[in-house]
């Protein structure tokens, strides 16, 4: 920058010296002296000589030209010096600005690259953090797997390899649509449902129809066990398509219940009605019945029997007209004495097996007490009090306000068979086989009753042995 200023000063001085020189020479008249005139006159000029007046005018003109030329040259040198330096300064500033812009861009690019590298490092750090978290989770799970909390998980046998949330322990008898996701539960989805299960034969279809019509479809699921193998003939009833049908020949309701009413299958149902098929329900309302059961806290119950139309085998099941319900019977005659201080069956704490009603919890206990091979369940009724979820004197009862009739029809053991005659073979050329068949009933009811007594004896023996073998069991009664 200093050298540029020096050069500018030199040019200005040179210009000033030239101007001063021309001015001095003009003032001295060096170019217009007589000698100059003589010199000019001696030159072989083509022009003719002029007078002194003309010569004076020429000199004056020449002086003006010289002065003007000197001024122009001085102005040129001075202006050129300033303009040149200013242009160079502007050019230099532009170059510096461009370089600064370039440097700034490069710095910005470097900053962007650094930012990208920082982001990549952060991403790697996040991934490492996630991996660390997963490792910690696995370590925690491995540690928890051996902890008492995990060891005490109530997982069903055989599901140890499954995560807890995917295990479905229970099911239900609710049918599902094939082609849509509409909820199938009738009425309010949150409404408590109960189950009516009956072993039925086609001969009692009218009685069964009367029973099912009492159990409104909004509150009950109906399940029919067909012991005669006839299912198609029930289609005449509107409720048929909504019922669950299970057909196996010549089996009792307890055989069906043990195999098709597992507690995990019926866990959604609040109460289970496990009824015979020969019951009259003209004076029975299921909703009012359950209202009384819930109010009194009955875990196991049954409707009272109408003594005017039913042969009552056990007095505890007989209806008492002036009562809403009762929990015990009273008897002063015979071997059995029952009063307010009695605590055991047959005085209290049990119901008969033709029309029992179980709560969900009571059925879970009772189901495990049903023996697979003792299909008549004789003797089971006297032990139901152990499944009453508490004091059997309070939690087992008979409802008098809603009562039924037990017709006592002989259904089990009557088998219909068909006998066929041999084909007529007198004419060997005839290829038409003529068969005549006729059906007849075989009454096995005496054998059924005999087996029922044998089963009751076996059940008592098994109960006694189970009590003796289980050193941890304490009889609550």
Kindly give the confidence (pLDDT) of every residue in the chain, 477 residues in length, as a single tens digit, with 9 standing for 90 and above: 555 556 656 666 666 666 666 666 555 554 444 444 444 444 444 444 445 556 666 667 777 777 777 777 777 766 666 666 667 777 788 888 888 888 888 899 999 999 999 999 999 999 999 998 888 888 777 776 666 666 657 788 888 889 988 988 888 888 888 888 765 555 556 678 999 999 999 999 999 999 999 998 789 999 999 999 999 999 999 999 999 999 999 999 999 999 999 999 999 999 999 999 999 999 999 999 999 999 999 999 999 999 999 989 999 999 999 999 999 999 888 888 999 999 999 999 999 999 999 999 999 999 999 999 999 999 999 999 999 999 999 999 999 999 999 998 887 766 665 554 444 444 444 444 444 445 667 778 889 899 999 999 999 999 999 999 999 999 998
> Who contacts 261 (Cβ-Cβ below 8 Å, separation ≥6)?
195, 197, 223, 272, 274, 363, 367
Q: How open is the CA angle 338-343-345, to the nearest 5 degrees?
A: 70
Number of H-type helices and E-type strands within the chain:
10, 11
Quote the CA–CA distance of 304 and 320 in Å, as a whole number: 8
* Residues 363/272, Cβ–Cβ less than 8 Å: yes
pLDDT at 361: 97
193-411 has which fold? Spore Coat Polysaccharide Biosynthesis Protein SpsA; Chain A (3.90.550)
> What number of residues does the chain have?
477
Quote the CA–CA distance of 254 and 220 in Å, as a whole number: 20
The pair of three-digit structure tokens given for residue 269, joined into one six-digit string = 């149902």
pLDDT at 434: 44
Q: Is the pTM here over 0.75, yes or no?
A: no
pLDDT at 70: 73
Strand partners, 348: 328
Which is it for strands 220-226 and 279-280: parallel, antiparallel or unpaired? unpaired
Residue extents of the structural domains in the chain: 2-30+59-140, 193-411
Quote the CA–CA distance of 227 and 248 in Å, as a whole number: 5
pLDDT at 235: 96
Q: How open is the CA angle 178-182-183, to the nearest 5 degrees?
A: 110
Where do we find the tokens 């059924």? 448
**260 to 208, 327, 396, 461: CA distances (angstroms):** 20, 30, 25, 26
pLDDT at 301: 98
Quote the CA–CA distance of 195 and 225 in Å, as a whole number: 13
pLDDT at 179: 86
Q: What is the separation, in whole angstroms, between the first and last Cα of the chain?
A: 119
pLDDT at 330: 93
Where do we find the tokens 């029992």? 356
């Amino acid at each position: 920058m200093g050298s540029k200023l020096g050069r500018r000063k030199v040019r200005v001085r040179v210009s000033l010296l030239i101007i001063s020189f021309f001015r001095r020479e003009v003032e001295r008249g060096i170019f217009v002296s007589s000698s100059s005139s003589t010199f000019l006159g001696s030159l072989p000029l083509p022009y003719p000589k002029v007078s002194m007046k003309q010569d004076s005018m020429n000199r004056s003109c020449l002086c003006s030209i010289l002065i003007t030329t000197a001024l122009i040259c001085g102005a040129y040198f001075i202006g050129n010096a300033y303009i040149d330096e200013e242009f160079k300064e502007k050019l230099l500033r532009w170059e510096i600005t461009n370089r600064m812009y370039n440097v700034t861009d490069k710095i910005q690019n470097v900053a962007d690259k650094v930012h990208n590298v920082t982001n990549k490092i952060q991403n790697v750090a996040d991934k490492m953090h996630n991996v660390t978290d997963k490792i910690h989770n696995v370590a925690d799970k491995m540690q928890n797997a051996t902890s008492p909390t995990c060891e005490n998980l109530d997982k069903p046998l055989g599901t140890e390899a499954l995560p807890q949330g995917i295990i479905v322990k229970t099911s239900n008898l609710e049918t599902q649509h094939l082609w849509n996701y509409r909820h199938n539960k009738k009425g309010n989805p949150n409404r408590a449902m109960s189950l009516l299960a009956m072993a039925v034969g086609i001969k009692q279809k009218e009685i069964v129809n009367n029973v099912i019509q009492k159990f409104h479809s909004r509150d009950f699921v109906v399940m029919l066990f067909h012991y005669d193998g006839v299912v198609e003939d029930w289609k005449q009833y509107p409720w048929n398509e909504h019922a669950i049908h299970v057909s196996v020949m010549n089996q009792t309701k307890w055989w069906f219940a043990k195999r098709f009413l597992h507690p995990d299958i019926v866990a959604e149902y609040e109460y289970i009605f496990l009824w015979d098929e020969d019951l009259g329900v003209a004076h029975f309302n299921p909703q009012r019945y359950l209202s009384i059961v819930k109010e009194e806290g009955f875990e196991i119950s049954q409707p009272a029997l109408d003594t005017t139309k039913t042969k009552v085998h056990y007095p505890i099941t007989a209806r008492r007209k002036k009562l809403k319900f009762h929990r015990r019977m009273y008897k002063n005659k015979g071997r059995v004495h029952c009063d307010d201080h009695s605590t055991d069956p047959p005085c209290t704490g049990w119901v008969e097996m033709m029309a029992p009603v179980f709560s969900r919890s009571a059925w879970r206990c009772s189901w495990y007490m049903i023996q697979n091979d003792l299909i008549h369940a004789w003797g089971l009724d006297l032990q139901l009090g152990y499944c009453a979820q508490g004091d059997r004197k309070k939690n087992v009862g008979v409802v008098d306000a809603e009562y039924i009739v037990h017709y006592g029809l002989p259904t089990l053991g009557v088998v219909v068979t068909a006998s066929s005659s041999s084909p007529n073979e007198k004419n060997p050329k005839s290829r038409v086989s003529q068969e005549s068949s006729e059906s007849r009933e075989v009454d096995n009811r005496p054998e059924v009753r005999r087996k029922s007594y044998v089963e009751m004896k076996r059940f008592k023996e098994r109960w006694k042995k189970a009590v003796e073998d289980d050193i941890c069991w304490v009889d609550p009664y």
